[in-house]
Amino acid sequence: MTKIAVLGNGSWGSVLGSMLADNGNDVVLYGNIDAVNEEINQHHTNSHYMKDWKLNENVPATSNLEEAITGADLLLFVLPTKAVRIVAKNVKPILDKLGTKPLLVTATKGIEPGSKKLISDILTEEIYPNDTDKIVAISGPSHAENVAQKDLTAITCASTNEENAKLVQKLFSNNYVRFYTNNDLIGVEVGGAVKNVIAIAAGILVGKGYGDDAKAALMTRGLAEITRLGVKYFGAQAQTFSGLSGIGDLIVTCTSVNSRNWRAGKQLGEGKHLDWIVEHMGQVVEGATTVKAVHELVQEKDIDMPISEAVYRVCYENADVDEEIKQMMGRSPKPEIRL
């Protein structure tokens, strides 16, 4: 039996942890909110993050990180991007003390502002310097609400080490979630992170009353700029962006009411302020963090990211949405295909 410590017990961490226990693994959840841990332990529910749903009854929750990771073969990071480095820094001395080297899997989707690092870079830096092979990223069109209902789902697991990607594929797969392996760790992470920014833009268009053509144009041109950033700055493979972690995740996040990023965008389009939206969401809106990192990259490198930049200005510079759309449509003519 594989022992798995799930770090982060919000919506995705709880659902993945419960699913992994259903798959026959020995799972413990780690989270920093005592009330959430108590509710999981006593009632097997997590009502703030996952309404009307029960976890596998064999999944305990704890706020004690050492207790959670002792004996673990695999640590699954399902934290908001801004918490990953903090928790990773706490994990490192515990693993050193225990003398163990579990596989690190990340389900977090984001780019860290300031460092402009992907999650696998943060985990490598903080836990296993110079050993990317011990890291696997899982990403794809998957909402906790759907997987909790055992909806059919397909997800990519990517690693620079094929055996480790295959191991995760085997542990995580079941008869309703199908995992595909991929060797482009960076491309998979970039797709999963930046689609959140495009999903905010998709929500903005809906909030403003635009229709299907606008949504399709936004998603297609959004994929073009995700690919441009991935290939030009991060060294990703262009083909990855036509897979589950690219176009697949972009489709679900730009069209689903389950998407927090899409809902945040819709509220922005309706005139609400980002601070109010994030506070009332009560769950992480990753695109609002990642757009800062993308903005920093655009400032430093010569990468054309017009949609992401417009989202940044609406979120952080009080830009007028109608004016941004007017500017976007009025840009100089360009060929469709270019990096």
Ligand X SMILES: O=P(O)(O)OC[C@H](O)CO
Ligand Y SMILES: NC(=O)c1ccc[n+]([C@@H]2O[C@H](COP(=O)([O-])OP(=O)(O)OC[C@H]3O[C@@H](n4cnc5c(N)ncnc54)[C@H](O)[C@@H]3O)[C@@H](O)[C@H]2O)c1
Give the residue numbers annotated as catalytic, written as ranges.
195
Nearer to ligand X among residue 13 and residue 102 (C-beta): 13
Site string for ligand X, 179-218 (x = CB under 6 A): -----------------x--x-------------------
SS3 call for 128: coil
Neighbours of 290 (CB within 10 A): 26
Contact between 133 and 161 (Cβ < 8 Å): yes
156 binds ligand X (CB under 6 A): no
**In the complex, minimum distance from the CB of residue 81 to ligand Y, in angstroms, rounded to a whole number:** 6
Whichever of 106 and 196 has its CB closer to ligand X, that residue is 196
**How is residue 248 annotated by DSSP?**
I
Q: How far is CA 233 from CA 160, 266, 335, 339, in A?
A: 18, 29, 21, 11
Reference 287, options 146, 92, 80, 97; nearest CA is 80
Asked whether position 13 contacts ligand Y by CB under 6 A, the answer is yes
Does 311 bind ligand X (CB under 6 A)? Our answer is no
Stretch binding ligand Y (CB under 6 A), from 26-34, 212-220, 225-233, 325-333: 26-34
Q: Choose the stretch contacting ligand Y; rule: CB under 6 A; options: 25-33, 94-102, 214-222, 305-313.
A: 25-33
State the DSSP code for 181: E
Hey, what are 42's tokens? Answer: 């006593």
Taken in order 65, 138, 146, 141, the sign of the CA dihedral is: positive
Q: Which of residues 28-47 bind ligand X (CB under 6 A)?
A: none
Query: What's the closest the beta carbon of residue 120 comes to ligand Y, in angstroms?
Result: 13
Number of residues that bind ligand X (CB under 6 A): 13
Residue 156 near ligand Y by CB under 6 A = no
- Among residues 80 and 113, whose Cβ is nearest to ligand Y? 80
φ and ψ at 103, to 5 degrees?
A: -70, 140
* Selected range binding ligand X among 14-22, 23-31, 253-261, 296-304, rule: CB under 6 A: 253-261
Out of 17, 110, 203, 246, the residue judged to bind ligand Y by CB under 6 A: 110
| CB nearer to ligand X: pick between 184 and 249 | 249
| DSSP conformational letter for 231 | I
Residues 6 or more apart whose Cβ sits within 8 Å of residue 279: none
The whole-angstrom separation of Cα 111 and Cα 115 is: 8
Query: Looking at beta carbons only, is 249 or 324 nearer to ligand X?
Result: 249
- Give CA 243 to chain center in angstroms: 16
Q: Summarize as ranges the residues that interact with ligand Y (CB under 6 A).
A: 8-13, 31-33, 36, 49, 78-81, 83, 86-87, 107-110, 142-144, 283-284, 286
